[in-house]
Amino acid sequence: MSLVSAADQAPPPAAAPPFAGLRIWFTMLAICLEERLVYRGDFIIGTLMRFLPIVTQVFLWTAVFNATSKADIAGYSRNDIVAYYLLTMVTRAFSSMPGLSGGIARSVRDGSVKKYLVQPVDYVGYLMAARIAHKLVYYLVAILPFAGVFYVCRSYFPPVPDAVTVVAYVLSLTLSFLLGFFMEATLGMLGFWFLEVSSIIFAYMLVQYLLSGHMFPIDMLADIPTGIAGVSAAEVVRWLPFEYTAYFPAAVWLGKIQGATLARDLAIEAGWVVVMAVACRIAWWRGTRRYSAFGG
């Protein structure tokens, strides 16, 4: 008589249903959407307040051009500058990730991140779902104010570009969202190595705001020397990924980047997304292997 152990008699474990990971991700997205809609009044007021600086920028650049005899600055007329600023607001609505890096660092510090180490939920995937939910609610609230502002300021804009440029613009916005997400998520995961990262985050936000082209077009740095022969400040900035979070999509819509240069820059932006996505995954993998949390 042969002896068969209970382990041999047990049926094999059931295979995971197809697309189970995708189904979990969409469930997380739905839950995050519900969370964003809990405090609707506060979210709406905060969103609308972000449109107030538009008036300041219009007055500022009008005063700048009134104080100079030049018709344009670095190839931008007053109308171009106002249109550029409004377009960078759209880009920033995609690429900015308020509270993401700080929230990750805080969850590492207080130990709340440990639940993602024992549950079958991918932490980076959850963060992505939460950020998409945030953006969807933001666009739902901001679409009418954006439409109103662009209608009032329609005289500042050139004619609508051709279909290829529009497609490139939409693609650049999508890539700017992914790039902004992975850059800030990677920054937040420095919390695995540093107890307090608020100063690092502040320094990053300052550098990113200056070098992304949100304050002024990067083209205006072309005449600023760097001390390197034949290399301007604008060229140095373009070696970095920051321009794709504000300047690049706006410049695409305004026709400042076209043809082969446009295709090359889109490829570079996609490359930066891949680089930062890999960096984010490596930071998460390395960080969780050196992480210790205590308490319930």
Assess whether pLDDT exceeds 70 at residue 289.
yes
Residue 19 has which token pair?
């697309």
* pLDDT, position 1: 43
First to last CA, the chain: 51
* pLDDT, position 62: 79
In a domain, 15, yes or no: no
In a domain, 137, yes or no: yes
* pLDDT, position 231: 76
pLDDT tens-digit series, residues 139-167: 877 788 788 888 888 888 889 999 999 99
CB–CB of 222/74 below 8 Å?
A: yes
In a domain, 16, yes or no: no
- Going by C-alpha positions, the residue among 164, 166, 168 that lies closest to residue 264 is 168
The residue segments making up the domain with residue 130 are: 21-287
In a domain, 2, yes or no: no
Residue 262 has which token pair?
């446009």
Cα dist. 171→162, 176, 256 in Å? 14, 9, 16
Residue 40 has which token pair?
């609707």
In a domain, 293, yes or no: no
In a domain, 4, yes or no: no
pLDDT tens-digit series, residues 172-192: 999 999 999 999 999 999 999
* pLDDT, position 25: 58
Residue 229 has which token pair?
């022969």
Assess whether pLDDT exceeds 50 at residue 210.
yes
Report how many domains make up the chain: 1
pLDDT tens-digit series, residues 214-261: 888 888 887 777 667 667 788 888 889 999 999 999 999 998 999 999
Q: What backbone torsions phi and psi does residue 277 show, to the nearest 5 degrees?
A: -65, -45
- Mean of all residue pLDDT scores within the chain: 81
Burial classification of residue 248, based on how many CB atoms lie within 10 Å of its CB (0-12 exposed, 13-18 middle, 19 or more buried): buried
Confidence of residue 15 (pLDDT cuts 50, 70, 90): very low
When pLDDT is averaged across residues 63-91 and rounded to a whole number, the result is: 84
- Going by C-alpha positions, the residue among 247, 131, 110 that lies closest to residue 181 is 131
In a domain, 7, yes or no: no
Task: Decide: pTM greater than 0.85.
Answer: no
In a domain, 14, yes or no: no
Q: What backbone torsions phi and psi does residue 232 show, to the nearest 5 degrees?
A: -95, 170
The more confident residue out of 90 and 11 is 90
Share of the chain above pLDDT 90, in %: 29
**Residue pointed to by tokens 């991140």:** 113
Other beta carbons less than 10 A from residue 163's beta carbon: 8
